[in-house]
Structure 1
Amino acid sequence: MNLINGYDPDTLREVVDPSACTERLDDLGVLRSLPALLERVWLLKVLGDLDEALEVSEQSVRVARMAGTRKDLLRARILHASVQQYRGQYAVAEQELLTCAEEAEGQEWWAVAAFAQQHLGRAYFETEDYSDARTAFKRALFLRQQAGTPDDQLESTLLAIDAADRRRVEASVAS
């Protein structure tokens, strides 16, 4: 079930159906498997319950560290950093996302590295660092292509690149 209806062109955040997300959150209940925890983090984040999202994301990192693979741990850390980004903790989020992207690329986990780069670009975008945002989005696009992501699934990255380009031009015209 795809809960994402699109992306806000001004924030690049997911546009979701809150009732469908709430229903899915209820379906997950108190499941404690790593996939369930990660999904709960994302749902709480997009619903705006950032305190609980942070708490569950910290739990997911602990579970991944104890019982998951290195790749699982990277995914949990990336999602945790994205919650920090939503909370306005940009410096912490950017550092963690950069570290995760570098580690994933070092392991040649292209899809995980792309996931980190996409979120890194969004963090830069929110701090109005459109040049670094564009660089991160372009890297995410390259990594997604490297991972063999079908063209129809590259749309969010292409939209993000366009948004960063548009904002860079607007910022240069305004100054």
Structure 2
Amino acid sequence: MRSLSALNEKAVLLRLLNRLDEAMVVANEAVRQARFTGDREQLLGARVRRAQVLQFQGKIDEAITELTGCVDEARAHEWTALEAFAVQNRGKAHFDAKDYENALADVTAAVFLREKMGASPSDIESSLIAVAVVQSFLDESRAEGSPESDRDAD
């Protein structure tokens, strides 16, 4: 159970079960083990999964900071799949923070990255759905803040 893939899988499952404290312990162990192995791509993936736990714990700013570092590192090494994974998750974190403009930029970037790497149609479709959802929230928030919506409320 100490293998890196098993730790990563366990962290994801614990997060999905909303056992977030346990998920964080396991995610931190996965990051430590990935550092020990010296495989920077595996370390980056483990860091993204740990950031997901942070997001689910409501530590959105911490998650965004971690994911931004992951996006930058993946981009620097031209690890397109990891960049798409990190940028999509950063978009979700921005969405949770109700920062719809940055969320839209990130989920849109994820679509282009997935297309660039030749991802499966279902992976691209899920990113396109995320774009549509974020766009609808952005449109709604803009409408609520517009002068026309203020007049309608009177």
Question: TM-score by structure 2 length?
Answer: 0.91
User: Structure 2 regions of 5+ residues with no counterpart?
Assistant: 146-154
Query: Which of 56, 61, 71 pairs up with 1:86?
Result: 56
Q: Which has the higher helix share?
A: 2
Offset of residue 87 of structure 1: 0.4
Query: Which of 32, 40, 46 pairs up with 1:76?
Result: 46
- Runs of 4+ in structure 1 deviating by more than 3 angstroms, as ranges, are none
Deviations 1:68-113 (A, max 9, x none): 4100000000100110011011111101101101110111110000
User: Structure 1 regions of 5+ residues with no counterpart?
Assistant: 1-30
The match for 2:152 is none
Offset of residue 174 of structure 1: 1.3
Query: Which of 74, 78, 83 pairs up with 1:113?
Result: 83
The match for 2:151 is none
Residues paired across the two proteins, number: 145
1:1-175 counterparts in 2 under 5 A?
31-175=1-145
2: CA distance, partners of 1:58 / 1:153: 27
Name the Cα RMSD after superposition: 0.9
2: CA distance, partners of 1:88 / 1:168: 21
Offset of residue 152 of structure 1: 2.3
2: CA distance, partners of 1:152 / 1:59: 31
Question: TM-score by structure 1 length?
Answer: 0.81
Offset of residue 44 of structure 1: 0.6
1: CA distance, partners of 2:18 / 2:38: 27
Structure number with larger C-alpha Rg: 2
1: CA distance, partners of 2:129 / 2:36: 37
Question: What amino acid sits opposite 2:52 in the alignment?
Answer: S
